[in-house]
Amino acid sequence: ILNVEQSPQSLHVQEGDSTNFTCSFPSSNFYALHWYRWETAKSPEALFVMTLNGDEKKKGRISATLNTKEGYSYLYIKGSQPEDSATYLCALRNQGGKLIFGQGTELSVKP
Amino acid sequence: DAEITQSPRHKITETGRQVTLACHQTWNHNNMFWYRQDLGHGLRLIHYSYGVQDTNKGEVSDGYSVSRSNTEDLPLTLESAASSQTSVYFCASSEALGGELFFGEGSRLTVL
């Protein structure tokens, strides 16, 4: 069973702070790593799909890096805004194409 | 616009009843998935399908079944609902194997 771990479990920051959180996974079972953003009362929405070691992806103030050799990915948010408040999920794609999700990092940004 | 829809959005049922949650997507995606969301567990995979007549068990498949008779639909059936199946259920689809998932809005099921 693949074990995808995210840390921290929750994070509270002030508006304007930059923040980052971690997704760890078994490096031997890597095919792709997904990041999703999940706002309360909505559905998860994809942020990034990353496949190559050293990949860096960016969307606005949000960026992600990937290290497949050591089994981790970082998600960064620069200058957090209240609208960034959400749960951020990472998911590891296994050999069969399934996505196994971590438990998520819940981000709260206070104005 | 293409979309993925779930119904019902909210349902309350009694222990032992059969319940079916519908999932319908108009993207013509071959890959469809059912997840359940519970506090402390994140999203856990129940069943998935890679095409018509194909169904596979996920991490938490006991007590659930799915069928795939066409590309658009993957209904999830609870044969005999149990209180442990009280949860929020999300259907998702993807175009490519292992590709970005597109989620429905979720179905909240309460089993009394």
Tens of pLDDT, residue by residue over A37-94, are: 999 889 999 999 999 899 999 999 999 999 999 999 999 999 999 999 999 999 998 8
39-78 in B: which are within 8 Å (CB) of A?
40-45, 48, 50, 58-59
Q: Token pair for residue B112?
A: 């009394």
Gap between the Cα atoms of B14 and B37, Å rounded: 20
- The single-letter code of the amino acid at B108 is R
B16 Cα distance to chain centroid: 19
Q: Model confidence over B75-112: pLDDT tens digits?
A: 999 999 999 999 999 999 999 888 899 999 999 999 99
Beta-carbon pairs below 8 A across chains A and B: 51
A77 Cα distance to chain centroid: 10
Confidence label for B2 from pLDDT (cuts 50, 70 and 90): low
**Mutation target among B91, B103, B108 for the A interface, most CBs of A within 10 A:** B103
- The single-letter code of the amino acid at A57 is K
Min distance B40 CA to chain A CA atoms (Å):
7
| CA separation, residue B46 to residues A5, B1, B18 (Å) | 19, 28, 17
Torsion of CA A58, A62, A67, A68, to 10 degrees: -80
Record: contact A49-B100, CB cut-off 8 A: yes
Confidence label for B1 from pLDDT (cuts 50, 70 and 90): low
Gap between the Cα atoms of A72 and A35, Å rounded: 12
pLDDT of residue A78: 97
pLDDT of residue A1: 58
Record: contact B31-A101, CB cut-off 8 A: no
pLDDT of residue A64: 97
pLDDT of residue A2: 67
Gap between the Cα atoms of B97 and B18, Å rounded: 31
**CA B70, B73, B77: angle at the middle one, nearest 5?**
115
Record: contact A34-B100, CB cut-off 8 A: yes
